[in-house]
Structure 1
Amino acid sequence: MNAMRLVAGILWPSFLVACGMEVLVFALVDPINTFCGADALRMSRQGVYTGAFFVFWLMAAASSACTVLLAGPAMPGQPDAPAGTTSP
Structure 2
Amino acid sequence: MNGFRQFAAVLWPSFLVACGMEVLVFALVDPINTFCGADALRMSRQGIYTGAFFVFWLMAAASSACTALLAGPLAPEGSEASLGTPLQ
TM-score (structure 1 length as normaliser): 0.84
Q: Match of 1:40, as an amino acid?
A: A
| Residue 82 (structure 1) shift | 8.4
Partner Cα separation in structure 2 for residue 17 and residue 82 of structure 1: 35
Q: Could you list the per-position Cα deviations for residues 23-53 of structure 1 after superposition, in whole angstroms to 9, with x for gaps in the alignment?
A: 0000000000000000000000000000000
1:3 aligns with: 3
- Residue 53, structure 1, aligned to residue 53, structure 2: yes
Gaps of 5+ in 2: 75-79
Q: Distance in 1 between matches of 2:81 and 2:73?
A: 7
% identical equivalent positions:
81
1:13 match: 13
Instruction: Answer whether contact 1:17 1:60 (CA < 8 A) is retained.
Output: yes
TM-score of the aligned structures, taking structure 2 as reference length: 0.84
